[in-house]
Amino acid sequence: MTDQDDLVRHLSRHAAKTTYDDVSEGARLRAKQGILDTLGVILAATGREPRIAPVLDLVAENGGRPEATVFGTDLRVPAAAAALANGTLAHALDFDSMTPWGAHADSSIVPTVLALAEKKGGATGKDLIKAVAVGEDMFIRFITNVGWKMDWNLSTSVGAFSTTAAGGSIAGLDDTRMFHAMGLASTHAAGVMEQIFGIGSDMRGMYAGFGAQGCVNDVLLAEKGMYGPPAMFDGPAGFFNVYFKGDYNREKMLEGLGQEFRGDKMLYKYWPAVGTAFTHVHAAIELMRENQIDKDEIAEIKVYVGNFHQRMCTPLKVRQRPELLIDAKFSLPFVIGLTMSKGDLKIGDFSAEAMSDPEVLAMVDKVVPVEDSAFDWTDQLPAGKVEVVMADGRRFARIGDDMPGTLERPLTWEQLGQKFAECAKAAARPLSGDAIERAIRVVRSLETVEGLSELLPIVQSGGADASSKVA
């Protein structure tokens, strides 16, 4: 391997050769937490997002070999179909993990790894941890070293390669087959930010499913002998030269490869909404708590927004009355109005009832976006400022700093366990208290688990028949 070899060769060799012992302790921890977190939000989506029904219906109708599980249901289907369903469920609530720079890795990686692990059999807990850590590391290497202009959806464009690497790792691909699998991933490394910014579409809630489905197929095809392009990343018409006009830092992507696993920076959401709203959510909650604000006396709520947050407020009247739950979670006026109305933001607060609740909507109408370039998105997620104007003229303002779920305040196992419990109880067929405790216990000690039979029956036990309606 030389510096002249295409970047894809370096990364594929790394993904194929990495062992559990190679992975840093911090990255192992985040991989385990990512698995628990993803399983939890998958279960919750079966009970809290009705728009996933067409995906489950399609998977059920197509049927096929019972290779892998659709969690929270009684379905066992071909691995790629399970990855489609589980990936869709994992991102449907926008409650899945993220990085400090935005974008979502685990909602594609975890469904891919688990589907292939079930199909192949014989995977240990250490194998799962290693595979997820490989994918998370590569994902962060990509998204922090490309010249992003809010154009491509990084979760799916670069995520196709990191997810395929994770899938190839659990499937045991050698470096040659891994190289070909990652090349094949280029056929579905796509997705533009309009699917994020746009209103009235289910795409933002299900793109992780398409990614996971494609990545399972990449691995299986490479295993059967399909070839990928030899210069997929650095070639004149390669991925980074076409998608990012050559604006990528190859050296930084390779820096510390194999010694530094950047997945140790993965973050887990404290609130069930788009992560870019969290600083505003935290500011709103703390404003009410610190100043004992009577919500009935609020006259106006000013949210200070930079370039990205402006998109979450435009057009304002449409954002104030979202028709889909996934749009409600991306609407800053609705998220802040709901938060101020409830005094907090829990998984049960987002519902069809809340979207038509007169009290909630009255609070939403008080939210006024104030453009402020000081809150533009540069490298990490932008901060948020909320100012509350009371009926008697008093004003209270706060920046949403020091919030839970950041690098400075990462969620603890206890907080993640509480989140998993709330998600599992929100499932279409809720897990029992004992099952919740067992799932948390098994994942926390995943490195000691000898096979999926110790984990999957726990989350399968909450399964509802796919033909039943999800609420």
pLDDT recorded at residue 163: 98
d(CA 12, CA 430): 40
Query: Residues of the chain whose pLDDT is less than 70?
Result: 1, 461-471
Burial of 284 by CB count in 10 Å (0-12 exposed, 13-18 middle, 19+ buried)?
A: buried
pLDDT recorded at residue 470: 37
Q: How many CB atoms lie within 10 A of CB 290?
A: 10
Domains of the chain, earliest start first: 7-264+428-460 (1.10.4100.10), 275-399 (3.30.1330.120)
Return the closest-CA partner of residue 135 out of 228, 251, 261, 244.
261
Question: Helix axis angle, 433-444 relative to 413-425, nearest 10°?
Answer: 140
Return the closest-CA partner of residue 432 out of 451, 460, 453.
460
d(CA 145, CA 444): 32
Please report which residue ranges of 244-348 form alpha helices under DSSP H.
250-254, 278-291, 307-311, 316-320, 325-330, 332-342
Tokens at 266, concatenated = 């993965």
In a 13 Å sphere around the CA of 412, the CA atoms on its Cβ side amount to 2
pLDDT recorded at residue 463: 40
pLDDT recorded at residue 471: 33
Tokens at 436, concatenated = 């919740």
d(CA 98, CA 59): 27
Per DSSP bridges, beta strands 76-77 and 385-390 are unpaired
d(CA 96, CA 92): 9
pLDDT recorded at residue 468: 36
pLDDT recorded at residue 461: 54
pLDDT recorded at residue 374: 87
With vertex at residue 26, the alpha carbon angle to CA 139 and CA 6, rounded to the nearest 5 degrees, is 30
Tell if the pTM clears 0.75, that is, is over it. yes
pLDDT recorded at residue 360: 97
The 10s digit of each residue's pLDDT in 219-270 is: 999 999 999 999 999 999 999 999 999 999 999 999 999 999 999 999 999 9
d(CA 223, CA 176): 10
C-alpha distances out from residue 256 to 14, 59, 98, 144, Å = 11, 41, 22, 14
pLDDT recorded at residue 1: 67
pLDDT recorded at residue 377: 82
